[in-house]
Amino acid sequence: KQIRKQQKGTWKVQASTMAKNTHNPIRKIVDGMKLTPNPEKAMIALSIGDPTVFKNLPPAVELEEALIETVKGGHHNGYAPSVGYESSRAAVASALTLPEAPLEAKDVILTSGCSGAIDLCISVLANPGQNLLIPRPGFSLYRTLADSLGIECKYYNLLPEQNWEADLKQMESQIDTETAAIVVNNPSNPCGSLFTKEHIKDICDVAFRHKVPIIADEIYAFQVFEGSVYHSFASQTTEVPILSTGGLAKKFVVPGFRLGWITIHDRNGAFEEEVRPGLISLSQRILGPNTIVQGALEKILTKVPQIYFDKIMAHLQANAEVCYKHLSAVPGLNPIKPSGAMYMMIGIDIEHFPGITDDMAFAEMMVTEQSVFCLPGKCFQYPNYFRVVLSVPEEQMVTACQRIKDFCKDHYKGPSENNSTPVK
């Protein structure tokens, strides 16, 4: 470990190793891009995973009412226990409990967003020098937090040709004696994919064989398209201890509220002696999430009607279908059909775009020429793909698809130079 020495001459205060090792790769990549939109076309940002930015998905009135009531009530201004109010933890437990994966208030820890939940889960399970298995492509925060804590990341591959299921053999080959946890994310950011029951069981089997606990990031739980069914990891195993993370951010379209949770699915006491008390200890570092949101939580979880969620999912699904239909007809692009969350990944046949070296250049040029910004796959450790956010208003989705099509038409060169109308 590098030890900082006070420099006695000019006074430059050095930052800690932890600070230096904490990076937001998306920020870094995006800040390094030349993003100058075409002045003749209004910018469409399909890049931001914040469902509130387009103002087309307002929060439920019941949620607003619950918050206002809590503010007016005046009973939720003081410190809550660092793991959350008992009643708020109970509300999460009863919203998520299942006969096959029962939850009580004591199994819930409220956190500062799902990010805070993931931070606690990684912090409690892994020591510096140990490793985590994380998905590729995957949400960048896992790596950010692990790097920050000096924990190594090993990647397991998600397979686009199998609806982004994990490559189980390759996953298993990554596990070693220092593997502290397998992180799964279902439904997935950036893939919009959803694991089947069977695939979840298969992953749990891998974890079981190696006695590695699972951190299941289920922030998009229940956000699936019509015809698909969401299964939690905890519902598919009676053997593997699981820390599941979730929160209000995406389903209730209020990411700014910073209300997340961990649900502890212990199995045969594997988490009882150390992990459960460890999570409680770690929660005391910053004392839990905002108490107004905590006070409103039971109402938020019980009073927002199903129709609110159905409408949002119908909107996301409609956009997914529009986007998939348009882009799968575009030579050089290979969209992978999503089943949930709010994203879609689109493969680029980069060798057929001469002069465009990679997904970064592709995304940059699409901004320059068409004023459409999508995150390059590199942001998710997955080159030559780009991610589209599906929460935009439908008109913008259509326009964006048209522009992406035009962009590809302008740059695509088919396998044979003579082939003027290339067929995929």
Ligand X SMILES: Cc1ncc(COP(=O)(O)O)c(C=O)c1O
In degrees, rounded to 5, the angle at the alpha carbon of residue 272 between the alpha carbons of residues 113 and 240 is 75
Mask for 331-360, x = binds a copy of itself (CB under 8 A): ------------------------------
Task: Round to whole Å and give the CA distance between 287 and 352.
Answer: 53
Please choose which of a copy of itself, ligand X, none residue 306 contacts, taking the beta carbon within 5 to 8 angstroms, the exact cut-off set by kind: none
Distances (CA, A) of 352 to 64, 333, 348, 349, 381: 50, 10, 9, 6, 22
Number of helices (H) and strands (E), helices first, in the chain?
A: 13, 14
Q: Which of 295, 288, 249 is nearest to 120 (CA)?
A: 288
Q: How many CB atoms lie within 10 A of CB 53?
A: 14
Please choose which of ligand X, a copy of itself, none residue 247 contacts, taking the beta carbon within 5 to 8 angstroms, the exact cut-off set by kind: ligand X
Would you count residue 264 as binding ligand X (CB under 6 A)?
Answer: no
Would you count residue 189 as binding a copy of itself (CB under 8 A)?
Answer: no
H or E stretch at 306: helix 306-328
Would you count residue 381 as binding a copy of itself (CB under 8 A)?
Answer: no
Task: Round to whole Å and give the CA distance between 151 and 147.
Answer: 6
Would you count residue 217 as binding ligand X (CB under 6 A)?
Answer: yes
Footprint of a copy of itself on 275-294 (CB under 8 A): 275, 277-279, 281-282, 284-294
Please choose which of a copy of itself, ligand X, none residue 219 contacts, taking the beta carbon within 5 to 8 angstroms, the exact cut-off set by kind: ligand X
Footprint of a copy of itself on 200-239 (CB under 8 A): 210-213
Mask for 65-104, x = binds a copy of itself (CB under 8 A): --xx--xx-x-xxxxx-x----------------------
Stretch that binds a copy of itself, among 6-14, 165-173, 298-306, 402-410 (CB under 8 A): 6-14
Q: Tokens 């600070």 identify what position?
A: 19
Look up residue 153 and give its amino acid: C
Stretch that binds ligand X, among 24-32, 112-120, 155-163, 388-396 (CB under 6 A): 112-120
Q: What are phi and psi of 156, to 5 degrees?
A: -110, 145
Q: Which of 138, 193, 362 is nearest to 146 (CA)?
A: 138
Task: Round to whole Å and give the CA distance between 43 and 373.
Answer: 8
DSSP codes, 201-231 = HHHHHHHHHHT--EEEE-TTTT-B-TT----
Footprint of ligand X on 285-314 (CB under 6 A): 287
Would you count residue 241 as binding ligand X (CB under 6 A)?
Answer: no
Q: Which is nearer to a copy of itself, 147 or 369 (CB)?
A: 147
Would you count residue 139 as binding ligand X (CB under 6 A)?
Answer: yes
Q: What are phi and psi of 206, to 5 degrees?
A: -60, -50
Count of residues that bind a copy of itself according to CB under 8 A: 96
Position among 45, 93, 219, 390 found at the interface with ligand X (CB under 6 A): 219
Would you count residue 185 as binding ligand X (CB under 6 A)?
Answer: yes
Residues 396-423 as b or e (16 or more Cβ within 10 Å = b): bbebbbebbbebbeebbebeeeeeeeee
Would you count residue 30 as binding a copy of itself (CB under 8 A)?
Answer: no
Position among 37, 84, 192, 260 found at the interface with ligand X (CB under 6 A): 260
Footprint of ligand X on 22-51 (CB under 6 A): 49
Q: Which is nearer to a copy of itself, 79 or 227 (CB)?
A: 79
Residues at the site binding ligand X, with contacts judged by CB under 6 A = 49, 113-115, 139, 185, 189, 217, 219, 247, 249, 255, 260, 287
